[in-house]
Structure 1
Amino acid sequence: HHQTYVTNLNAALQNYSSAISSGDIAGQIALQAAIKFNGGGHINHSLFWENLAPSSSPDANPSSAPALVAEISKVWGSLEGFQEAFKKTLLGLQGSGWGWLVKDNQGLRIVTTKDQDPVVGGEVPIFGVDMW
């Protein structure tokens, strides 16, 4: 699944480079959607894998991230309150997409992105869940 995004991204980037070299503007524009989709799939899945831990690992316990749990509790009242809000938001996605806990200049927020669109702008992803 993830490897397919990497393979397709590499092919699109190679074709994009060729289109640039040959001055093929229409070809460059046509490849942008494939680069965004497959590049987003690669970025999103890379972040996803980095956030996994075996259930037996101490890192899988919320007590391993007290500052994050405290910040979550400030926003949603408790870790359980966050889990309910996150679940409700993700189940509201139409089609495929991602649910993210992000931090921006105003604090923590839950956001969604469509298909393989990555988190962009001033939002820093804390973790994400692939919904498809």
Structure 2
Amino acid sequence: MAFTLPELPYSYDALEPHFDQETMEIHHSRHHQTYVNSLNAALEGSELSGLAVDEVITKLDQVPAEKRTAVRNHGGGHSNHSFFWKNLKIGTTLSGDLKAAIEKDFGSFETFQQQFEKAATTVFGSGWAWLVKKDAALKIVTTHNQDSPLMGEAVAGTSGFPIIGLDVWEHAYYLKYRNKRPDYIKAYWEVVNWDEASRRYKQSS
């Protein structure tokens, strides 16, 4: 069963002015579609193609060696972006158990924001910044390229259950923010879907 591009739960202009319509359309319909197409090509005829993509990227050791890099890159891209789109929405508020956990593990929401922004800004080249649940605590981690914390320490250099994640590839922000990644990172706080983040936090418990 082939992987497919998920529909966005909002229009391409729904995150304006923070994330612009043109970037969202290109990011979703072209970049994400390419990851889907390439993953399908890499897994054609494999039993892994019948699994959910999040499960596929936890089983990279079961992928034939000659296909493993393609599945890591494009499976990671499909998984990360499928998560990312759900993680975006204007008008939600951090509250409840997730707010309490962030304040407990980072001291304050403001400290968490500062640490997350620093992590996202200092990713060299392309990658992601994440808030993950790991060992009963929240942690900020980064991954390179399309690696995911779900891939585990041996592959991605980190691990954990993603709560929120920010794509810091240039294709995610360059049309609007040019080379000003820090401005894009600050704009992210205006579009974080805290309702989805809270749901994932409860799921991780």
Give the TM-score taking structure 2 as reference length: 0.53
Matched, 1:61 2:93: yes
- Distance in 1, matches of 2:109 and 2:135, equals 21
Equivalent position of 2:194 in the other structure: none
Instruction: Give the CA deviation at 1:106.
Output: 3.8
Q: Percent identity?
A: 49
Tell me the residue number matched to 2:162.
Answer: 125
The answer to whether residue 65 in structure 2 is matched with residue 33 in structure 1 is: no
Read off the aligned partner of 1:124 and give its amino acid letter: F
Report matched runs for 1:11-50 at 5 Å: 11-14=41-44, 17=46, 28-50=64-86
Provide, for residues 30-52 of structure 1, a one-character-per-residue CA deviation record: whole Å limited to 9, x for no partner.
21100110000000111111111
- List runs of 5+ in structure 1 lacking aligned partners: 18-27
Please name the residue that 2:108 is paired with. 78
Q: Distance in 1 between matches of 2:65 and 2:135?
A: 33
Deviations 1:6-51 (A, max 9, x none): 011001111x64xxxxxxxxxx322110011000000011111111
**Partner deviation per Cα, 1:46-105 (whole Å, 9 max, x = no partner):** 11111111x2x4xx222xx32111111112121111000000111111110110000011
The partner residue of 1:107 within 137, 140, 161 is 137
Give SS of 2:80's match: helix
The separation in 1 between residues aligned to 2:68 and 2:145, in whole angstroms, is 15
Which sections of structure 2, spanning at least 5 residues, go unmatched?
1-30, 47-63, 153-158, 170-205
C-alpha separation between the residues in 2 aligned to 1:119 and 1:29?
A: 21
The SS at the match of 2:148 is coil
- Quote the offset at 1:3 in angstroms: 1.1
Aligned residues: 115
SS of equivalent residue, structure 1 residue 40: helix
Higher strand residue share = 1
Consecutive aligned runs of 4 or more in structure 1 exceeding 4 Å deviation: none
Q: CA RMSD in A?
A: 1.4
Could you say which residue in structure 2 is the equivalent of 1:3? 33
Answer with 1 or 2: which has the greater Rg: 1
Is 2:129 the partner of 1:92? no
